[in-house]
Amino acid sequence: MNRVAKLLFFPLLPLLCLFLITSCFESSSPSPKKPENLELRKKLTDLQYRVTQEDETEPPFQNEYWDNHEEGIYVDIVSKEPLFSSKDKFESGTGWPSFTKPIVETNVVEIVDNSYGMIRTEVRSKKANSHLGHVFDDGPKPANKRYCMNSASMEFIPKSKLKEKGYGNFLSEFSESEKNK
C-alpha cells in the first residue's frame, strides 16, 4: 500500500470497524419499524399511545415495571428496538423503572426538554421516536445516571423468551451475571 493510501485509510479504520460492529449487532435483533399513526392507535393502549406519541407521563407506583425484578430486557413498545437491561435497573424510589444506562446506546436519543418551566433531558427511542422518559444526573456511581422511564413506552422480554422473540444475542448479558454469583 503506498504512503498516500495509508494516510487516507488508517485514520478511517477505527470508524470502519465501529460501523461494521454496530451493523452486525443491530442486524441480529428484530428489524424495528414504526407503524403508521392509525395502526398505532389500534396496536397500543390509550396510555401507551399518550405516553409514546404525545409525551405524557404515567403515574408513579401504578405502572407495570416499576417493581419488576425479573431478568430480561426492555424494548420500545412501538418499534421493538432494545432499550434497557434488567442488569442495569435499580430502585430509585421514584415509582418508575430506572436504569443506569441503555443496553444499546445508539437506540436512545437525548434531547433538551424545556416543558413545565424546567430544563430536563428527554429520552426518546431512535427508530420510533417514542417518548420514553427523562435522564437525570442523580443515579448511582460511577456514571450517576438515572434513566427514569415510563413502563407504558416499553415491553419487557424475560430472559427465558429472549431467543424465541429474536433477541438471543442478549442472552450473554445474563450468562456472565450468573457466573459472577
> Residue 125 corresponds to which amino acid?
S
Choosing from 148, 149, 154, 157, which is the catalytic residue? 148
Q: Any idea what DSSP says for residue 75?
A: E
User: In Å, how far from its chain's centre is CA 109?
Assistant: 9
Dihedral sign (CA 116, 113, 124, 128): positive
Active-site residue 148, yes or no? yes
Helix or strand holding residue 46 (H, E): helix 46-54
Sequence-distant (≥ 6) Cβ neighbours of residue 100 within 8 angstroms? 88, 90, 139, 140, 143, 145, 146, 147
CA distance 89 to 77: 18
Task: Provide the 3-class DSSP secondary structure of residue 176.
Answer: helix
For residue 176, what is its C-alpha cell?
Answer: 456472565
Residues annotated as part of the active site: 148
